[in-house]
Amino acid sequence: MGQARGELEAAKAVEALPATAAALLAGELSLAQASEIIKTESETPGAEAKLLKVARNSDLGQLRDEARDHRQAKADVHELHRQQLRARHFRRWRDRLGMVCFTGALPPETGVPFINRLELAAQRARRAVHQAGGERERFEAYAADALAAMAVGEGPARSSRADLVIVCDLFAWRRGHAHPGEVCQVIGGGPVPVELAHELGKDAFLKAVLHDGVTIHTVKHFGRHFPAELRSALDLGPVLAFTGAQCADCGSRFGLEYDHINPLANNGPTSYSNLEARCWADHQAKTERDRQAGLLGPNLPYPP
């Protein structure tokens, strides 16, 4: 009923956006995509043209990400954080198989480090199965195991990798608040008040990147090892936008691995300019393309 009601409301509201209505009637976007554009345009006028371009060239998930980022960029950061705190929740139920199911929401300062630790544990578990010669399951299965282990205190010990990374304009950090156009945000979580960034900075497992507008291009290393500063730079995502890493092929932000654009076996360096984030499936597909192109050599079965 809720979905049907939403579609009826979208069909009525789209009349106020001629460009979106025309694209919908031409079959260039789905009703769900049109609904996302309508909601974002109603909250932040001027978003329609940008989101239409995204909708024509990507899926619903990427459109929702772009729409959310657009709304957050236009919002008052203090009010946004108050809304996030009010919206936190946890609900649980059991499905027809007897599985314990749940859904929830956490503000960025607690949700992002939680997800980072969970994904790191899942990646380690999947890697261990692969190294032992076992058959790997879906990444989501290892993530479920990692969540259960963390819940009973059996999760992995802290690593040297930061649980939370904040990017903040240098002048905003010194001043204690941001002016229009100055960035202060949690990587993977969106904008936060500078005062909150200072408070979070008391945690030893947070990494703050103070940005003065200089493009990242000097981090370079030959070999498989990823220096901490290189991984931090990659985790930021696009420079100046700093929206966090996502798969270069499908846009996913889940279960990412860093892939050498020019493979290590082909003398590609472990450098900022030669690395891209990819989900596991797209990483495997890219490796197969590299192998077929003769870039991996005859005896290198796995991706660098």
Read off the pLDDT of residues 167-179 as tens digits, 9 standing for 90 and up: 888 788 888 888 8
**What's the DSSP call for residue 102?**
E
Q: Please answer whether residues 125 and 146 qualify as being in contact, where contact means their C-beta atoms are separated by less than 8 angstroms.
A: yes
pLDDT at 214: 45
The count of C-alpha atoms lying within 13 angstroms of the C-alpha of 195, restricted to the half-sphere facing its C-beta, is 3
pLDDT at 153: 77
Q: pLDDT band for 221, please (50, 70, 90 cuts).
A: very low
- For the cut 70, the answer to whether the pLDDT of residue 22 exceeds it is yes
Residues pairing with 105 in the sheet: 89
Question: Between residues 277 and 254, which one has the greater pLDDT?
Answer: 277
**Where are any strands of DSSP class E within the chain?**
89-94, 100-105, 164-169, 184-186, 190-191, 206-211, 220-221, 256-260, 270-271, 275-279
Q: pLDDT band for 203, please (50, 70, 90 cuts).
A: low
Q: pLDDT band for 61, please (50, 70, 90 cuts).
A: confident
Question: Between residues 24 and 99, which one has the greater pLDDT?
Answer: 99
- For the cut 90, the answer to whether the pLDDT of residue 204 exceeds it is no
Helices 48-57 and 60-74 cross at an angle (nearest 10°) of 160
SS3 state at 256: strand
Q: Between the CA of residue 117 and those of 59, 142, 157, what are the distances in Å?
A: 28, 13, 10
Tell me if the pTM is above 0.75: no
pLDDT at 87: 96
Distance in angstroms (rounded) separating the CA atoms of residues 257 and 280: 7
pLDDT at 160: 47
pLDDT in tens, 62-95: 899 889 988 988 889 999 999 999 999 999 999 9
pLDDT at 176: 86
Count each helix (H run) and each strand (E run) in the chain, helices first: 12, 10
Average pLDDT, stretch 119-143?
Answer: 89
Lowest mean per-residue pLDDT among 57-61, 117-121, 131-135, 216-220: 216-220
Average pLDDT, stretch 48-54?
Answer: 91
Q: pLDDT band for 155, please (50, 70, 90 cuts).
A: low
Q: Please answer whether residues 79 and 192 qualify as being in contact, where contact means their C-beta atoms are separated by less than 8 angstroms.
A: no
**Other beta carbons less than 10 A from residue 273's beta carbon:** 13
Per-position DSSP letters for 155-221, written without gaps between them: SPPP-SS-SEEEEEEHHHHHHTSPPTT--EEETTTEE--HHHHHHHTTSTTEEEEEE-SPPP---EE
pLDDT at 298: 54
Q: How are the residues of the chain apportioned to helix, strand and coil, as percentages rounded to the nearest 5?
A: 50, 15, 35
